[in-house]
Amino acid sequence: MRIVVATLAALVAGAAVAAEPAPPPVDGPVAAEDNFAIAPAEGRHLKIDRRDGRISLCEEKAGAWRCSLVPDDRDAYEGEIAALKKRVADLEAEVAALRAERRPPADAADEEKRLDEFLDFSDKAFRRFFGMVREMRREFGDESRI
């Protein structure tokens, strides 16, 4: 047990464990200072952080133990999900703003009334315009082209 604790202390500190022999094979996880657990994994060992669930792969190279953090795909997925949720919320807010700006659809009777008003206005404007043209031609004595 002293070898496991010494090896663990070296793993946590990142120091070499040249003086100590390699840890004996272990059949299951071994508790280490209540924060970490060590489990065998294909000739290497996994260091499991019990506080945040991060996993490191530890192996002996050139007489020193080195641990490297195993990438957690879950963090990437959760980050992507959070970014997509924010984007959806932004797009929903934009759609709501655009809908608020849009005028309500008019019914057919209202459209018919507006068209009649426009045609009446156009009729009056053209009659006035051509009346002014006739007046100018009379004033200048050219009534032949009226």
Give pLDDT tens digits for 56-113. 888 888 888 888 888 777 778 888 999 999 999 999 999 999 988 887 666 778 888 8
Average pLDDT over residues 12-25: 43
- Enter the pTM of the model: 0.32
Pairing of strands 30-32, 44-49: unpaired
What is the spatial distance between Cα 91 and Cα 33, in angstroms, rounded to a whole number?
Answer: 49
Taking phi over 0 as left and psi of -120 to 50 as alpha, with beta for the rest, 20 belongs to beta
Domain ranges of the chain: 2-70, 71-102, 106-141
